[in-house]
C-alpha cells in the first residue's frame, strides 16, 4: 500500500549566476535534517516510521513548482513542509491545494532571510484561501549554522504528527454496526460530516450480520479456539452482581463467553477483513469494510436477547489480545460515531489505546463529605466520575510501565509484562440481567491516580457544524472508604476513572463543576498525556473549531491565518475555520 507521505519542498531564489547556487546546497541540508527529524520521531498508526520525500529539484520558479507538484502527487504526498533560507517569488511557486496541510520553515538569519519568503508566502496563501503554518525560530542563526533550533523542532514535529493523523483518516470508512442506540444523537452517523471534514465514508451493516456469521460459522475456527483458551486463562470473573435467584448458571455463562469471543473476532473481521474467510468459502466477507473505526449499537435490540458487546469493545480497543501486542481497533460503545472519531484522532496522534467513558457525574466536595468517608486532598475541588457500561480498553488500568511510572504505551512499546499487568488489574463482571437480558461480561478496573490525561469530545451543532472540546487534567485516587462508597453508587462491574481537569479560573475551567456542566454530551474519550496542543492543531487542519479548552496560548500551533481573525480566542477559531 502506498502510504501517505510528507513532502519537503526546497525553496530558493530562482536567479542563477551566483544567487541560487549559493543558497541551494545549504537549504537541501536543512531539508534533509527535517526529513531525518520527522522519520525518527513520527510513526504511522501501524508503528512504521513516517516516510518523507524531498523535492528532486529546488523550487525557484513556476515550472519547477509544477514539476514538484506532479512528483508529489505520484508519491502520495498528503502534507507539505517548505524550507527556505532566502526570498523567493511566493505567488509563482506556492502550492495551492487546499486539501493538503502546509507549513513553511523560514530560516531566521539576517544574511539568509528565509523569514522574508515565509511572510510573503503566508500573505499570498491567506489571500488565496490556503492557510499555512508558520515555523520561524525565535533566535537569529548564523548563515553557516545548519541546525534545527529546539523551538523549530517542536513545531515541525507537531505539524508532521497532526498531518499524518489527518492523512491516515482519508479514504477509510466508519462502520456503523446497527443504528440508533437508545435515542443517542451521535449514533445517527452523519455521512456528510465524515465525507466533508474527514475524507471518510460511512458503511452500515445490520447487527443481524453478526448473527449470520455466528450461525454459519463465518470466522476463523483455529483463532477462535486460541482466543477462547487465552480468555479462560487471563479473564478472571468477579462476583456476580445479580440476585442469586436471577443469576445465569455456570453452563449459561460458559456459553456467553464462547459467544462474546466469537463476536470479537467477527466485529474485527467486519472492519478490516480476514483472508482466512476466503479459504473457507467466504470471499466477499474476507474483504471487510475498509474501516478505520466502528461502532456497535447493542442496546436494546441486541442486548435484550444476546450477550452485550462490552468484552468485544474492550478487547478490540486495547493494544493487545490473544495474538499479543497490536494496534488498537477503534470501536465505539452504543455506536457513538462522534466519540469514535474523537478516539480515532487520539489514537492516530499518539499511537495509544483510547478510553471510552460516560461522563457520569460531578462529585462535589460537599457531596463527598456527606458520605463521611474522609476527603482526599486530590479531590478537594471535586472530580468528574468517568465510567462506562462495561466497555473500555484495558490499557485504561494505567498499569503499563512508562519511564518509571504508570500510564499507557503505544502498542509498539508494549511488552509481555505490560500486558500481564493490564489483564491482572481487570476483572470481568457479569452483566446485570435487568438491563442486559442476554448477559455478557464487562471489564471492571479502576484507573491508577496521578496519570496525566486529556479528556476530549467532538459534537455536531446545527447551523455551526462540528466542534471539539479538550480538557487536560489528571486521574486521581481516593482513599479506600470513599472509593468504595462512590463506586457502590453506580456499578462495580464497570471501568472507572476519577478525573480532575486543570483549572484556569476562566470559562468552563473556573471549576470542575463548570466543565461538567458545559460538556457537550454524555460521552467522552480519554487520551494518555497532556496532548491538548495536538488535538487543537489537528482540529485546525480539519477546520473544526475548538469551543472549549484549557491549553496555554504558548502551546497552541495553528495556521497563521488564525492571527488575522482575532488571535487565539475561541471566536477567532470559529471564524478562521471558515477559510
Tell me the catalytic residues.
334, 358
Q: How far is CA 294 from the centre of its chain?
A: 13
d(CA 398, CA 528): 9
Q: Are 189 and 181 in contact (CB under 8 A)?
A: no
d(CA 110, CA 146): 14
C-alpha cell of 558? 495553528
* Apex 187 CA angle, 182 and 189, nearest 5: 150
CB 192: neighbour CB atoms within 10 A? 9
d(CA 87, CA 246): 78
d(CA 451, CA 408): 9
Q: Are 198 and 341 in contact (CB under 8 A)?
A: yes
Please list the residues that pair with 450 across neighbouring strands.
none
d(CA 463, CA 564): 24
- Selection from 372, 364, 362, 366 nearest residue 482 by Cα: 372
Q: Are 458 and 472 in contact (CB under 8 A)?
A: no
- For residue 301, give every residue at least 6 positions away whose Cβ sits within 8 Å of its Cβ, in sequence order, or none: 178, 207
Please list the residues that pair with 203 across neighbouring strands.
175
Q: Are 318 and 395 in contact (CB under 8 A)?
A: yes
- Selection from 370, 311, 299 nearest residue 335 by Cα: 299
Q: Are 187 and 337 in contact (CB under 8 A)?
A: yes
C-alpha cell of 552? 496555554
**Residue 203, CA distances (Å) to 197, 200, 225, 315, 415 in order:** 16, 10, 29, 22, 34
Q: Are 439 and 308 in contact (CB under 8 A)?
A: yes
C-alpha cell of 337? 460515531
d(CA 443, CA 426): 6
d(CA 72, CA 4): 10
d(CA 509, CA 502): 7
Q: Are 175 and 297 in contact (CB under 8 A)?
A: no
d(CA 255, CA 247): 14
Amino acid at each position: 500500500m502506498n502510504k501517505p507521505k510528507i513532502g519537503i519542498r526546497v525553496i530558493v531564489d530562482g536567479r542563477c549566476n551566483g544567487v541560487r547556487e549559493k543558497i541551494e546546497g545549504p537549504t537541501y541540508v536543512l531539508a534533509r535534517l527535517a526529513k531525518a527529524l520527522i522519520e525518527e520521531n513520527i510513526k504511522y498508526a501501524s508503528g512504521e516510521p513516517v516516510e518523507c520525500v524531498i523535492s528532486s529539484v529546488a523550487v525557484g520558479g513556476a515550472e519547477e513548482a509544477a514539476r514538484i507538484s506532479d512528483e508529489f502527487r505520484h508519491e502520495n504526498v498528503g502534507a507539505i513542509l517548505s524550507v527556505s533560507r532566502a526570498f523567493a517569488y511566493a505567488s509563482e511557486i506556492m502550492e495551492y491545494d487546499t486539501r493538503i496541510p502546509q507549513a513553511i520553515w523560514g530560516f531566521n538569519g539576517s544574511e539568509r532571510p528565509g523569514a522574508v519568503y515565509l511572510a510573503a508566502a503566508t500573505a499570498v496563501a491567506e489571500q488565496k484561501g490556503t492557510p499555512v503554518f508558520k515555523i520561524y525560530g525565535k533566535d537569529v542563526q548564523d548563515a553557516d549554522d545548519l541546525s534545527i533550533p529546539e523551538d523549530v523542532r517542536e513545531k515541525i514535529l507537531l505539524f508532521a504528527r497532526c498531518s499524518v493523523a489527518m492523512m491516515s483518516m482519508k479514504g477509510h470508512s466508519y462502520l456503523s454496526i446497527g443504528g440508533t442506540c437508545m435515542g443517542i444523537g451521535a449514533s445517527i452517523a452523519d455521512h456528510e460530516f465524515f465525507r466533508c471534514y474527514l475524507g471518510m465514508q460511512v458503511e452500515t451493516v445490520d447487527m443481524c450480520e453478526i448473527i449470520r456469521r455466528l450461525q454459519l460459522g463465518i470466522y476463523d475456527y483455529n483463532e477462535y479456539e486460541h482466543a477462547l483458551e487465552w480468555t479462560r486463562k487471563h479473564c478472571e470473573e468477579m462476583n456476580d452482581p445479580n440476585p442469586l435467584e436471577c443469576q445465569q448458571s455456570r453452563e449459561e455463562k460458559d456459553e456467553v463467553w464462547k459467544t462474546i469471543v466469537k463476536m470479537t473476532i467477527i466485529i474485527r473481521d467486519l472492519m478490516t477483513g480476514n483472508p482466512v474467510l476466503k479459504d473457507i468459502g467466504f470471499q466477499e466477507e474476507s474483504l471487510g469494510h475498509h474501516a478505520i473505526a466502528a461502532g456497535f449499537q447493542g442496546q436494546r435490540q441486541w442486548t435484550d436477547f444476546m450477550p452485550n458487546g462490552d468484552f468485544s469493545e474492550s478487547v478490540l480497543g486495547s493494544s493487545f489480545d490473544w495474538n499479543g501486542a497490536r494496534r488498537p481497533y477503534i470501536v465505539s460503545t452504543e455506536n457513538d460515531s462522534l466519540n469514535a472519531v474523537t478516539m480515532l484522532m487520539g489514537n492516530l496522534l499518539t499511537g495509544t489505546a483510547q478510553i471510552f467513558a460516560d461522563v457520569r457525574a460531578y462529585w462535589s466536595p460537599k457531596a463527598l463529605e456527606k458520605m463521611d468517608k474522609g476527603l482526599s486532598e486530590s479531590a478537594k475541588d471535586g472530580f468528574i466520575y468517568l465510567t462506562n457500561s462495561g466497555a473500555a480498553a484495558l490499557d485504561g488500568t494505567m498499569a503499563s510501565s512508562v519511564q518509571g511510572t504508570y500510564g499507557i504505551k503505544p502498542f509498539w512499546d508494549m511488552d509481555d509484562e505490560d500486558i500481564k499487568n493490564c489483564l491482572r488489574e481487570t476483572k470481568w463482571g457479569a452483566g446485570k440481567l435487568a438491563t442486559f437480558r442476554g448477559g455478557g461480561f464487562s471489564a471492571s478496573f479502576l484507573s491508577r491516580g496521578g496519570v496525566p490525561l486529556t479528556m476530549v469530545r467532538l459534537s455536531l451543532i446545527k447551523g455551526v457544524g462540528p466542534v471539539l472540546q479538550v480538557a487536560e487534567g489528571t486521574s486521581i485516587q481516593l482513599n479506600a472508604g470513599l472509593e468504595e462508597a462512590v463506586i457502590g453508587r453506580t456499578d462495580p462491574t464497570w471501568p472507572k476513572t476519577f478525573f480532575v481537569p486543570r483549572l484556569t479560573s476562566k470559562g468552563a475551567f473556573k471549576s470542575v463543576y463548570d466543565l461538567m456542566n458545559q460538556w457537550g454530551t454524555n460521552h467522552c474519550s480519554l487520551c494518555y498525556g497532556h496532548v491538548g496542543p495536538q488535538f487543537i492543531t489537528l482540529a485546525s487542519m480539519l477546520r473544526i473549531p475548538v469551543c472549549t479548552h484549557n491549553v496555554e496560548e504558548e502551546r497552541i500551533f495553528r495556521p497563521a491565518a488564525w492571527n488575522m481573525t482575532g488571535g487565539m480566542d475561541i471566536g477567532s477559531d470559529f471564524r478562521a475555520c471558515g477559510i
